[in-house]
Structure 1
Amino acid sequence: MELLSTGQFWTAAFLAAAAAYLIGSVSFAVIISRLCAQDDVRAHGSGNAGMTNILRTYGKKLAFFTALGDFGKGVVAVALGRIIFRLVADGAAPALFDGGYIAGLFVILGHVFPLYFHFKGGKGVLASLGVLMMLNPLVFSIIVILIVPFVFWVKIVSLASIIGFLIFPVLTTIVNLVSRKPYQFDLFFSLLISAMGIWMHRTNIKRLLNGTEYKFGAKKTTE
């Protein structure tokens, strides 16, 4: 079968990236806080448009719907990115990579820097989980099994998120090697997603080092 040409690749990559970024820019935290609380969550707590800040500011119900939206847009973006690559390929083999990684990276970028909300979004944890579930269900399952109990043990969401981003590219590479699949492309994009996720938690890392990071049950207005 004929491989995807360079022109086809860049066309598909551009379309997938653009579509994913626009999907990621739909900030459910901002929309839900405005519709349900006539407020903007970014004016409270950490200032982030994410589920954790919604939870602290408005409670579990709105946090649930925010989490569902953020996770779901990661799923939708990767699925759409793969469809775009298949359509552009027009029967050609998509070489040795998963086009969903491009969509995954850009939906997270959209969440972090939303076009529709002055480029002030969240940290991309739930969107990243939705992306990961679509890209590699096995890696997703391993991370969830490891991280969820850890969250309830340490009661610090940010620490668990940082560890999840750190082990994502490692587990991706191990799984690909064990299954004898090419790993270079997947490793490259998983490293980009990991680096962006850790960078977005840089203030949390400072608070973790200072011993002042927020824990479940603590009455604190900053993340």
Structure 2
Amino acid sequence: MQNIWMIVLSVILAAICAYLLGSINSAIIVSKLFAKKDIRDFGSGNAGLTNVLRTFGKGPAAIVLIGDFMKGVLSVVIGNLLFRYVGGVEGFMLGGYIAAIFAVLGHVFPLFYGFKGGKGILVTAGVMVVLDPLVLCVILGTFIIVVLISKIVSLGSVAAAIVYPFATLGIGLLMKRNTPFIDAVLALLISILVIYMHRANIKRLLTHTEPKLGQKKEN
């Protein structure tokens, strides 16, 4: 019974730590440091890499890329450590996925910035580096191919999000992992959240008004 309560405690701690870490928005911090302005007041209004790149250029965007990516990495590492040393179980994937979900939630709905954040793509990439590099290769390949063909970053992001749970399940089964279906369901939750945050982009894609690479979105 004591072990169960320690596992519950590790879940709660992993969720809280990952959410708070995810709530630290690199795009907002960088835009205020470099331009004394809030990135959410420009372009698409999204506090993410693409909007920073279009608005402030490559330098600030590179910092955002590293910051958001590392949030995902650190969140999963913390989740894994909490499950191992607080929960007392080798729940590597489960602890990591719980932390991953809350890191993306924190990025999308940040506590520190009025619950208005980014779309979670870079954070998701960061968590996948730790959780499953093979899945990341599939997702990254999907993203690159779609963007190269369409020149539309949001389309590549949505395509990658759609592929994510299927890649997680397929690779999990091929590698004979212990919980491939549970991992796929947790990956699906992240995918749904990412796709939901791209709903405005999807509407523009359907009306052929989504800007391509090199184009600035009109305010």
Q: TM-score with structure 2 length normalisation?
A: 0.94
**Identical positions, percent:** 45
1:150 aligns with 2:150: no
Among 205, 213, 218, which residue is 1:216 paired with?
213
Cα offset for 1:149? 3.2
How far is the alpha carbon of 1:176 from its aligned partner?
0.7
The Cα shift of 1:46 comes to 1.0
- From 102, 109, 112, give the equivalent of 2:98: 102
Aligned Cα root-mean-square deviation (Å): 1.7
Amino acid at match of 1:171: A
Cα deviation code 1:61-106 (max 9, x no counterpart)? 101110110011000100011011111133x443x95210000000
Q: Distance in 2 between matches of 1:93 and 1:78?
A: 14
CA–CA distance in structure 2, aligned partners of residues 121 and 97 of structure 1: 26
CA contact (8 A) 2:54 2:216 kept: no
Matches within 5 A, 1:54-203: 54-90=52-88, 92-94=89-91, 97-181=93-177, 182-203=179-200
Change in Cα spacing, 1:149 to 1:37, as seen in structure 2 (3 Å) is: same
Residues 43 and 216, structure 2, Cα contact 8 Å, conserved in 1: no
Letter in 2 for 1:193: I
The amino acid of 2:188's aligned partner reads L
Task: Tell me which residue corresponds to 2:15.
Answer: 17
SS in 1 for 2:24: coil
Structure 2 distance, partners of 1:193, 1:124, is: 9
State how many pairs are aligned.
218
Unaligned stretches of 5+ residues in structure 2 = none
Judge conservation of contact 2:9–2:87 (CA < 8 Å) in 1.
no
Give the gaps of 5 or more residues in structure 1: none
Report SS of the residue matched to 2:147.
helix
**8 Å Cα contact 1:97-1:185 kept in structure 2:** no
- TM-score normalised over the length of structure 1: 0.93
